[in-house]
Amino acid sequence: MATESHCKLIGVVTAGAEHSEQKHLISGIIKRAGELNIDVAVFSNIYNAAKYHSHVEIENNIYDLIVSKRLDGIILNSESFVNEKLLNSIVENLTSRTDIPVISTGRAIDKYTSIDNDTMKDIMNITNHLIEVHGFTDIHMLTGYDFFDDSHNRVNGYKEALLSHNIPFDENKVIFGNFWLNSGEDLAMEYITGKRKLPEAIVCANDYMAYGLCDVFLNNNIFIPDDVTVIGYEYVGQRYYHAPFLTTYYRNRKALGIKAVNNLYEMMGGPKSDDISLDGHMIFGNTCSCCSDNKLLFKELSEIRSEMFYSNLNLVNNFEQQLSLCRSLSDYVNVLQQFSYMIRDVVGIYLCLYENWCNSDFLENSSDQTNNESMICYTVTSPEAHSFEPKYYDKYQLFPDVIPKTKNENALYFCPIFFSGREFGYIILQYDKPDGYDSVFRDWLKTASSALEILRMKNDIHTLLEYNNLSSLHDSVTGMYNQHGLKNELHYMIKEMNSSEKILLVLIQTEIFSDDDSIKRQQISVQISLEIADTLKKATENRNILYGKLSNKLYAYAAVCSEDSPDIELICDKLTTLVMHGSEYSRYCDMDSIAVHGEIFDMNSFDFDSAVNSVTQSINIKIDEISSKRDNTYYMNYLKLRNRLYINPNEEWNSQEICRDMHMSYGYFRATYKELFGVSFHQDVIQSKISYAKYLLITTMLSLPAIAEKCGYEDYKYFLRQFKNFTGMTPNAYRKDVVL
């Protein structure tokens, strides 16, 4: 493929590319692109989950490839994404591609040209068929979510057909579902139990709901089409798994793919193509009395037999066992080559791994993965004679030099290879006709991914050392004492203490209210933990002070106290300041996400577990107080403002402008702000400057005039006065008092 580097390249961004809906669209894209001598790169995830487990979410890093300068245009199959957060992330990433045209198919995306089938017209044609061919007048409509515009769009097609035939439209005959099987199942039970009267016919806004409807009818002796006619929409496949064989309407996604390429090609500077019809057509089965299309039924059954054949290959071979026995990457690639026959109709398979894919430090540091662009490509199989020597290439080059140009269409699918939150790289599948992979390949890839992780663990001495030699007294991420280690160290410290001395224990609860579901958030938490550990270590040189990480996001400070009790409030203030103003923490965490509390305990009766429980109870009370404030409707808006204050202490803030932006009166704003945070907005502006000054006093040796300037003070003496008014001490005294 490198020999034809001048060839135009279209990127197709989709999800779950093995599903029939996506395959219809992509086949149209590949077919038309091949006619225009344009290559196609399809980027797709594997799981396409509505809600992600953190270990699987990393599959979506495959969409980082859309920033490649090799791409001349992008088609975003927006309809394929079931995870709205993921789609929004991709759209946001696409904003950087102002250099190339982008088209969205399936649903409208702001700022981009969007095209779709006319679903209203399609549903109207289905309803017309029931009225004109079958003579029905009592027709119900099962559509999708009530809050989806397209659900109502499909209802409008049904309504338009009724009214055009002088049949009254009754909104009670429209049922809103969720585009999935259970919607049809639930509606079927309403008919069976008599809650709804069975009509002459039911139009389903997609096939999945129709399948659910028919399945329940069949199990309850309601016969189709004798008792009721059912027609689906979209022709998603899988008709052979349900009975009777569904009559449906083909949503012409293949034509949509062709039109997308035509439009994109014109936007890329090519000539304008003739317009193409996106009209669909009826696909006859046995759920209406029209004759089924036996030729089409045979074709579908042939496809399922082929898929079952390849699926059975998975059951009778020892692919998984052979991979698990591999001792080297060359062994691994050899096994992939032996079992490449399991992937139907593919002409090329290429394993593309990060250069440092087997290094634990690389895999566990998200920033390293993001910035690493060097990859190695291993040829598993190829459409022509080639060398099996691995080739190095740049990640965003997309096509390694080992991928040859085929005579017909050039379609390449990029699918992630990963395991439990570890990203290894991706697999490239090459086709020379409008085709793509199926569910059998998904299973093949999952097996290959698991085996690659086993191989990594076998060969990664760092991983072995980590598991065998990691001290049971230290936190594995930060190296700080864990709860057992801190308890053990305090035990030895107490033995050397005088009976008159006491122990101060302070707990620091961080990242309160943070969401840990996503792997990205977990990676951020790791970076924050390292930052906190580094900050606390640098802030102390006193051997009588101990730090530890007791659990996820809970840190401890323990110190020996003389007879004179220390200023606990000042120590808590300094610890809060250190954590809150850390660059990572302030970037990702809110102002109310930290709670700190300390208590002094007598050395003679000190019990570590009891002391931790006592301080934890006080921490929880503070957290409950914050939680109750979060119930306020306006709290999050005010919190965002407060975050900005403390992140930008050197800025000037105009409360009148803020009130205008928040659409509220100045009096209401002031009263609510003080109610939520216990301090007036004006005083909090000053407090944000003083807070940052405290941080600089603790962590730097900057002069006081320099600190004043960084905190937004033009008058150095005014800074000194305000600092003392708010803290009760001078900046120098604050810097010297209490060595953490």
Q: What is the 3-state secondary structure (H, E, C) of 486-547?
A: HHHHHHHHHHCCCCCCEEEEEEEECCCCCCCCCHHHHHHHHHHHHHHHHHHHHCCCCCCEEE
pLDDT digits (tens, 9 = 90+) for 514-556: 766 566 777 788 889 989 988 887 766 555 788 899 988 999 9
Residue 3 has pLDDT above 50, yes or no: no
pLDDT digits (tens, 9 = 90+) for 75-98: 999 989 988 899 999 999 999 899
At residue 691, the pLDDT reads 93
Alpha helices (H) along 140-288: 149-164, 181-192, 207-219, 253-267
Query: What percent of the chain shows pLDDT beyond 70?
Result: 92
At residue 632, the pLDDT reads 87
Task: Decide if 120 contacts 152 (C-beta within 8 A).
Answer: no
At residue 258, the pLDDT reads 96
* CB-count burial class (<10 Å; 0-12, 13-18, 19+) for 89: middle
pLDDT digits (tens, 9 = 90+) for 613-642: 999 999 999 999 999 988 888 899 999 999
At residue 385, the pLDDT reads 65
SS (H, E, C) 50-100: CCCCCCCHHHHHHHHHHHCCCCCEEEEEHHHCCCHHHHHHHHHHHCCCCCC
pLDDT band at 26 (very low <50, low <70, confident <90, very high): very high
Q: Which residue has the higher pLDDT, 74 or 341?
A: 74
3-state SS class at 349 = strand
Task: Decide if 734 contacts 697 (C-beta within 8 A).
Answer: yes
DSSP assignment, residue 696? Answer: H
pLDDT band at 738 (very low <50, low <70, confident <90, very high): low
In this structure, of 50-54, 210-214, 434-438, 442-446, the range with the lowest mean pLDDT score is: 50-54
Residue 567 has pLDDT above 70, yes or no: yes
Q: How many CB atoms lie within 10 A of CB 633?
A: 6
Task: Decide if 353 contacts 376 (C-beta within 8 A).
Answer: yes
pLDDT band at 214 (very low <50, low <70, confident <90, very high): very high
Residue 458 has pLDDT above 80, yes or no: no
- Please give the model's pTM, rounded to 2 decimal places: 0.64
Residue 407 has pLDDT above 90, yes or no: no
DSSP assignment, residue 474? Answer: B
Residue 499 has pLDDT above 80, yes or no: no
pLDDT digits (tens, 9 = 90+) for 568-614: 888 899 999 999 999 899 989 998 999 999 999 888 888 999 999 99
Query: What percent of the chain shows pLDDT beyond 90?
Result: 56
Residue 687 has pLDDT above 90, yes or no: yes
pLDDT digits (tens, 9 = 90+) for 112-125: 999 999 999 999 99
Q: How many CB atoms lie within 10 A of CB 359?
A: 16
Residue 463 has pLDDT above 50, yes or no: no
At residue 466, the pLDDT reads 46
Q: How confident is the model over 473-499, as a mean pLDDT? A: 84
At residue 105, the pLDDT reads 95
pLDDT digits (tens, 9 = 90+) for 396-406: 888 888 888 87
What are the residues whose beta carbons fall under 8 Å from the beta carbon of 413, sequence distance 6 or more?
17, 42, 44, 428, 429, 431, 436, 437
At residue 542, the pLDDT reads 54
What kind and span of H or E run contains 556?
A: strand 554-561
**∠ CA 481-483-484, rounded to 5°:** 90
Instruction: Identify residue 208 by its one-letter amino acid code.
Output: Y
At residue 7, the pLDDT reads 84
Distance set, CA 735 to CA 42, 679, 694, 698 (Å): 58, 25, 8, 6
